[in-house]
Structure 1
Amino acid sequence: MKLRIFTEPQQGADYETLLTVAKAAEDLEFDAFFRSDHYLAMGGSDGLPGPTDAWITLAGLARETRRIRLGTLVTAATFRLPGPLAIQVAQVDRMSGGRVEFGLGTGWFAEEHAAYGIPFPSDKFARFEEQLAIVTGLWATKPGDTFSFDGKHYQLTDSPALPKPVQDPVPVLIGGHGATRTPRLAAQYANEFNMPFASLEDSARQFERVRAAAESYGRRADDLVYSNALVACVGSNDAEVARRAAAIGREVDELRTNGLAGTPDEVVDKIGRYREIGAGRVYLQILDLDDLAHLELIADKVKSQL
């Protein structure tokens, strides 16, 4: 079981804060540092000092870290054209020496599109599917060959399909709760399927759908990594758990039900239950990015038991 750190910078974090957390995660030997791809704060946060762009951030971190893997959970397909996105991700992969993982989703938060003048189409899933085909197709095109695509939403003609990433292929992550189309696309394109903020029961049900879809697509179900994203709130004792829950505006009982909250032993036990249903990675959503002692506790008392 691998533990990864997952941040939500739109809630209020500048690049220096993200760099500090990424370096701490690397020093503490977490498997990866991931960030969301949003431009507007949620849940009443003022979001100060303002949003940071996911791929610009990861480009900087690529040059300022050494080992830790880097990625998005997940890039919004509505934010970028697929050709330039393939170039961006390939370039950051090269800048990192081959440490990038590419999470892609449809995009969903209408308010942030309105706030920054980004079109919010009604047919987001169809565009998302074409983006997956284009980005992976560009990377898979052999040097010297060209790539063309004639879709409903995007057309590419004789693209040189450059630059190439270091990794062949760049790991692709798809996630979500959709019962039919999401498992199908995961089976077709993904190296990893992620179930965000879901119960054991819902995760097990969705993992089985993805496994069945993979097999129907001619892949072994275990070709994919299965993972969960869950908010983390760990304390050495109940008082510390309560303090950390209050700092992120959440209730302890709710976090114990819907996230990974409690003492290290409690959290290890719950992670074990996710492992039993097939999860091989857990993305720990860390909402208080100034509390580096939280990461140290998780590394020392949770990760060490896994």
Structure 2
Amino acid sequence: MTPYVTAVLEEFDEYLALQCGRSEHTRRAYLGDLRSLFGFVEQRRPDAKPSDLTLPLLRSWLSAQAAAGAARTTLSRRTSAVKTFTAWASRRGLMDVDPATRLQVPRAHRTLPAVLRQDQARDAMDAFDSGAQQGDPLALRDRLIVEMLYATGIRVSELCGLDVDDVDTSRRLVRVLGKGDKQRTVPFGEPALRATQAWLSDGRPSLATQSSGAALLLGARGGRIDPRQARTVVHQTMAAVDGAPDIGPHGLRHSAATHLLEGGADLRVVQEILGHSNLATTQLYTHVTVARLRAVHDQAHPRA
């Protein structure tokens, strides 16, 4: 890309962060999509600028992505990235008109997420018992990771961003900063409370250093744990549970939502717990529970 386009994308990144409140993950994905777009355009128009973007070019780029095997969810995100960028660029005067106003976002096929059965969830929560009982700091931390993800249904990025003061052990509440810098409060149960207390009293002090700050969860060197480490913990835990699907932190989030609904929780309550801005996103979990009912019916009913 030209230095001019690079500077424009840096300014767009600041806009996403400061005015839109987009997460680092979203911004990185959007910028990667836009670099791909300008790389595609520069093959046809060297020294391409935002003003060189046209609707046919945008459609050609998306068609090339689809032909290369990009999933519909990926195409949907890339379309959203382009539409956000061109709307911003046109307001900034970098292009005379917004070429993406008529660019349609491909609808992603919604698939039923893999979830744990409730007995598998119990086995997963018990996976660290031996190490935790021996006081191993990393085992205490890993147990808290799995317990808190399942107990609250929060995102792994939200978990890793927690500070010690964000957890209210007296009321069993955790204060979470979610997408768009929206704050919400989520309750958790007695097992997660015990895991939290054990970590704070016997685990965290063993790993904490001067650089730890207020971070709740720490890595082996005392720094704040990152989502990649937490994902590894969850995958390793699932591998130790017989018959459990290979799910990560988001799978525990799916499982928590599904089990809440199966237990009779109101859909609006689950929406608030998960931090969904749109109820339609939460309704996906009702499809999961219906699918389970249908599977049981097919197996058990004599005229299924």
Q: Say yes or no: TM over 0.5.
A: no
Identify, as 1 or 2, the structure richer in strand.
Answer: 1
Identify, as 1 or 2, the structure richer in helix.
Answer: 2
TM-score by length of 1: 0.26
Larger radius of gyration: 2
